DNA sequence: TGTATATGATACCTTTTGGTTACGCAAACA
DNA sequence: TGTTTGCGTAACCAAAAGGTATCATATACA
């Protein structure tokens, strides 16, 4: 089973859980109350988030407080960050130019 | 079928395809040659990437040149960007303080 | 015109995902 | 001590994901 941050944040429910936990720590039932789906379903999402390090759990009696480990998102930010120039609007002219060049220059068969 | 950028980049093969296409446009066979898996498998990944707008295709005779639409990644960058402060090292002290506060202040049952 | 090439489409398979219900158990309360 | 609460886990399910082999088709080359 692949367990990486990219896969973890692919699910919209899990992204929402992270959003919730970014604001404050919550126990599992509190999280489940914020969603329509069942508690065991949330429990599974939490497990996945824990396995890839996006949240950590602090046991407090019978409650388990979940805390978002937001530093883990740096990995994703770094990957997208490589391409940041492409939406800051600075590269558009160059980009279009290169696109055309590349096709013209492609090696012809034979 | 959910088709969003987060889900698209969840697969490592698809991220690699984006990496390849960021450097230069390529046709489908050229992309497939860079991987161990079969051409139809790549074709499916390309379809997914196209459906969510991460790549566009330019037909050139019998070849189809794929181009990465890297601006689409802005969405992901924005989402992770909300939490940027958590890995720039500026918030750690405050963060730890708040974490403890939150638990102490939680409403007691009854 | 015949053949090689680039690619789409289909059928099929296995594993993973995301959900459910039902049950069990330890901690906390009355 | 009995009962509620918080949560894990198991069994089960349908659908989606990721792959394959195979076939069809249009374009390009000889």
10-residue stretch averages of pLDDT, chain A, 110 residues long? 92 98 96 97 98 96 96 97 87 56 39
Question: CA A3, CA A74: separation in Å to the nearest integer?
Answer: 16
B6-16 pLDDT tens trace: 999 999 999 99
A-facing residues of B in 20-79 (CB < 8 A) are: 22, 24-25, 58, 60, 65, 67, 70-71, 73-74, 76-77, 79
The residues close to strand C, meaning Cβ under 7 A, are: A 1-2, 7, 10-11, 13, 36-38, 40-41, 44-45, 48, 61-62, 109; B 27-30, 39-40, 43, 46, 57, 62-65, 108-110
Q: What's residue B82's pLDDT?
A: 94
The better pLDDT of the pair B93, A18 is held by A18
Give, for A73, the enclosing helix (H) or strand (E): none
Of B65, B74, B17, the C-alpha closest to A86 is B74
Instruction: Quote the Cα angle for A17-B87-B54, to 5°.
Output: 65
Asked if pLDDT for residue B20 goes beyond 70, the answer is yes
The tokens of B2 are what?
Answer: 């959910």
Phi-psi region of A61 (alpha: psi -120 to 50; beta: other; left: phi over 0): left
Q: What is the pLDDT of residue B91?
A: 64
Its CATH class, for the domain covering A5-73, is mainly alpha
User: In chain A, where are the structural domains located?
Assistant: 5-73
**Assigned token pair, B38:** 């079969």
Segment B19-34 shows an average pLDDT of 96
Asked if pLDDT for residue B2 goes beyond 60, the answer is yes
Mean model confidence pLDDT for chain B: 87
Please give the residue that has the higher pLDDT: either B99 or A15: A15
Half-sphere exposure of A26 (CA within 13 A, CB side): 18
**More confident call, B95 vs A67:** A67
pLDDT given for residue B1 in this prediction: 74
Token readout for B75 is: 């969405």
Q: Is residue B21 predicted with pLDDT exceeding 70? A: yes
Within residues 65-104 of protein chain A, the ones with CB less than 7 A from nucleic strand D are none
Query: Does the CB of B1 have a partner CB in chain A at under 8 Å?
Result: no
Question: What distances in angstroms separate CA A46 from CA A105, B54, B81, B83, one per listed residue?
Answer: 50, 29, 22, 19
CATH topology of domain B1-110: Arc Repressor Mutant, subunit A (1.10.10)
pLDDT of residue A29: 97
Number of other residues whose CB lies within 10 A of the CB of residue B85: 14
Q: Is A33 helix (H, G, I), strand (E, B) or coil?
A: helix
């Amino acid at each position: 089973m692949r367990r990486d941050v990219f896969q973890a944040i692919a699910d919209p429910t899990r992204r929402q859980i992270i959003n919730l936990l970014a604001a404050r720590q919550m126990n599992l039932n509190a999280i489940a109350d914020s969603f329509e789906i069942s508690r065991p379903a949330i429990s599974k999402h939490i497990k996945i988030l824990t396995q890839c390090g996006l949240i950590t759990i602090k046991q407090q009696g019978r409650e388990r407080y979940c805390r978002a480990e937001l530093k883990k998102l740096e990995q994703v930010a770094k990957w997208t960050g490589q391409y940041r120039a492409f939406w800051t609007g600075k590269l558009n002219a160059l980009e279009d130019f290169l696109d055309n060049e590349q096709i013209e220059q492609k090696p012809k068969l034979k």
